[in-house]
Amino acid sequence: MNNEYLIEVENLKQYFPIKTGFFKTTPLKAVDGVSFKIKPGETLGLVGESGCGKTTVGRSILRLYEPTDGVVKYNGEIITASNMQEYRKHMQMVFQDPYSSLNPRMTVEDIIGEPLDVHKLYENKAQRREKILSLMELVGLNAEHATRYAHEFSGGQRQRIGIARALAVDPKFIVCDEAVSALDVSIQAQVINMFEDLQQKLGVAYLFIAHDLLVVRHISNRIAVMYLGRIVEVGDADDVYEHPQHPYTESLLSAVPIPDPIQAKENKRIVLSGDVPSPMNMPTGCAFRTRCRYATERCATECPSLLDRGNGHEVACFNR
Amino acid sequence: MESNIENMPKKNIFSAQIDVAKFEKATEEEKRQQDVMSESTTFFKDGMKRLMKNPLAVGSMIFLILIVLVILIAPKVVPYSYSQINTVNGVRDKGAKNMKPFEYSELEQKYMAEGGKVFPHIMGTDEQCRDYFIRVVYGTRVSLSIGLVASVMVLIIGLLYGSISGYFGGRVDLVMMRIVDIIYSLPDLLMVILLSVVLGATITPLIEGTSLAKIGTNLIALFIVYALLYWVGMARLVRGQILTIKSNDYVLAARATGAKSGRIIRKHIIPNCISVIFISTALQVPSAIFTESYLSFLGLGVSAPMPSLGSLANYAREGLVSYPYKLIFPAVVIILIVLSFNLLGDGLRDAFDPKLKK
């Protein structure tokens, strides 16, 4: 049981069949061979532009989609479709949209209590209520909110309800799928600080999916950068942020707004040419080569794999 | 310290000094009163509580209950029959034709003068000397039962069919919805007429001698027609609702916590589409009453002498100028029933939508 890694994802692939003709279906390669590991109590930030498969990775780990290929291990044990039910107690998810992720016909008490009901984690009604109230206190909601409906709350409060629901089963691993991107900046800060507090108190590990690099750097121990269904760079948060190796990471980081205007002027922005290729018609070799400044002929024929450049900083590029 | 406050001298009313007694510590009971947390309720209980606060919905409900009571009790109290000519003391009263409300015929007046008791004709009589009130009561009975039975059948079939189709999706959905499309494309009225004729002929020998024979073949045929044809609208509605609800994140969240299909349907999908289903069921009742009316008009509805509100209104056209009240009575009953079902449907929709909570 005592494994170094809590979550191990190996060569995860998720293809969706898309109808392209009357009888023809083409696979959409949303996730194409992703591997990473997360230690207990650690936060892995997963960044990338829209449509690169971040959310799909999160959902495939929790088997909300049946993965096409690859292995997900929890504490060293392989999760399959048949034994997923017991792992649902250990792995939870916080959703992006705090408006559609809460059932408008349920009171807060029932929303947070749902995981307790599903896994029968209480003996009587009083115990159920007690647990719900302690969860609400944990995420900073008042007890009087318990019998209200979700639409009576603001975005930040709703997200807290969603987090309380995820925490109800005492999970060891939570996928935060763009959990703060729908909130405005001041609320983002509150919620992120809460995530950190909860990590310290409960020792949960996060897979923190986001597209805001500053947020990810703040909360993550390690960062993985995704491009078109593949991870192109992984490493310690500061390492990736200060010394990006992959050309895609470089351009992504150069797009981060800098609050100081003088410094911002000095900083050169690396603007990528062209659009993201369609995941239904991926370029051969390295997926990024169509937009890469350093692309050579080798990139068109071979797909680079992640190579360690020291300190666990892995990069998938031939030229850097 | 507490005793100190109690022992303090009473404050002079005119003194500007602060009353120390007001700063007493709150007792446990008072503290509990500050706890504004309300009792936890279920979705259904909460909805019913809100429904009871809606005066229009409650009024409609009371009216409908009254109507049901009247159509159950009136035939026991009123000594007339919907199908027989008025009789006075065992003698057929040929003079009791087309009387006004509360009018008595010559024979009845003579009988009353002799000391006999005659139950008043509350709504007069028709051209065949039958008491009109009891006919309207029976007509309401027929129309209301057609409305209710038909809409319950439509609800059950449509809900089951639509939710299976919507929830499982994919190929199941494709095949099931094509069947619905085929039924939808059949001309309604033509099918209703054809089916009632064919069914009327086949059912009659089947139900002979059973209690069903009392209801009449036409009425049973009408129910079957309704069950066969009118559920498609409900099925489409339910399917559409479920498709939209299914794609919401909260259903995904429920699956992530490990909830099974049954729980997701029960706790997430049905409560979210129930208000639409309520209102369309409530609207189905008047539409069934209207369908029965025009079928009766065409001679395919309930068979004479059994009245229905539609056929009563139809017969009343003949003497409209001389006896307008004969149209007014059934028409008013139809209007009130339809109106109260609509108001009740509205009230139910509002009550079961927490977003409209006041």
Among B35, B250, B257, the residue with its CB nearest the CB of A88 is B257
Q: In chain A, which residue's Cα lies nearest the Cα of B40?
A: A147
Q: Do B258 and A89 touch (CB under 8 A)?
A: yes
Q: What is the pLDDT of residue A27?
A: 84
Q: Is the pLDDT higher at A4 or at B55?
A: B55
> Using an 8 Å Cβ cutoff, are A101 and A184 in contact?
no
Quick one: pLDDT at residue B210? 67
Describe the strand order of the beta sheet including A69-74 as a list of residue ranges.
A25-38, A7-19, A69-74, A77-78
Q: Does A66 touch chain B (CB under 8 A)?
A: no
Q: What is the CA radius of gyration of chain B?
A: 30
The pLDDT confidence band at residue B206, using thresholds 50, 70 and 90, is confident
The residue to which tokens 């001298």 are assigned? B9
Task: State the amino acid at position B217 in one-letter form.
Answer: T
The better pLDDT of the pair B155, A182 is held by B155
Which residues 6-35 of B have a C-beta within 8 angstroms of A?
Answer: 35
**Cβ–Cβ gap A151/B267 under 8 Å:** no
Which residue matches tokens 């606060």?
B53
Q: Measured between alpha carbons, how far is residue B303 from residues B126, B200, B292, B314, B326 in Å?
A: 17, 11, 12, 14, 19
Structural domains of chain A sorted by starting position, each given as residue range(s) with its CATH number in brackets = 7-90+171-309 (3.40.50.300)
Mean pLDDT, range B218-236, rounded to an integer = 81
Q: Which residues in chain B have their CB less than 8 angstroms from residue A115's CB?
A: 257-258
Q: How far is A274 from chain B (nearest CA, A)?
A: 32
Distance from CA of B256 to the nearest CA of A (A): 7
Q: CB distance from A151 to chain B under 8 Å?
A: yes
User: How far apart are the CA of B246 and the nearest CA of chain A, in angstroms?
Assistant: 11
Task: Going residue by residue through chain A, which has 320 residues, state the pLDDT in tens, using 9 for 90 and above.
Answer: 457 889 899 999 998 888 777 778 888 888 888 999 999 989 999 998 888 888 899 999 988 888 888 889 988 888 888 888 888 888 999 998 888 889 888 889 889 999 999 988 888 888 898 899 899 988 888 888 888 888 888 888 898 899 999 999 889 999 998 888 888 888 888 889 889 998 998 889 999 998 888 888 889 999 999 988 889 999 998 888 888 888 888 888 888 887 788 887 777 777 787 777 887 778 888 888 888 888 888 888 888 888 888 778 888 888 76
| Cβ distance of B268 and A129 shorter than 8 Å | no
Calculate how close chain B gets to A76, using CA atoms only, in Å: 21
B266 touches chain A (CB under 8 A): no
For residues B298 and B292, is the Cβ–Cβ distance under 8 A?
no
Instruction: With a cut of 60, say whether residue B3 has pLDDT above it.
Output: no
H or E element: which one contains A28? strand A25-38
pLDDT at residue B1 in the model: 47
pLDDT at B216 over 60: yes
The predicted structure's pLDDT at residue A48: 87
Decide if A149 touches B, using CB distance below 8 A: yes
B267 neighbourhood in chain A, CB within 8 Å:
103, 106, 114
pLDDT-based confidence at B38, cuts 50/70/90?
Answer: low
Q: What is the mean pLDDT of residues B20-47?
A: 66
Peptide bond into A104 cis (omega under 30): no
Q: What is the pLDDT of residues B109-128, one digit of tens each?
A: 888 888 877 888 888 888 88
Quote ipTM for the complex. 0.83
**Residue B263 at interface with chain A, using a CB cutoff of 8 Å:** yes
The residue of chain B with its CA nearest to that of A84 is B258
pLDDT at B94 > cutoff 80:
no
- In Å, how far from its chain's centre is CA A162? 15
Residue A49 has a pLDDT of 84
pLDDT at A174: 93
Single-letter amino acid, residue B251: V
The domain limits of chain B are 2-34, 45-76+135-356, 85-129
Q: What per-residue string of b and e applies to A147-181 under the rule 16 or more CB within 10 Å gives b? A: bbbbeebeebbbbbbbbbbbbbbebbbbbbbbbbe
More confident residue, B225 or A42: A42
CATH topology of domain B45-76+135-356: MetI-like fold (1.10.3720)
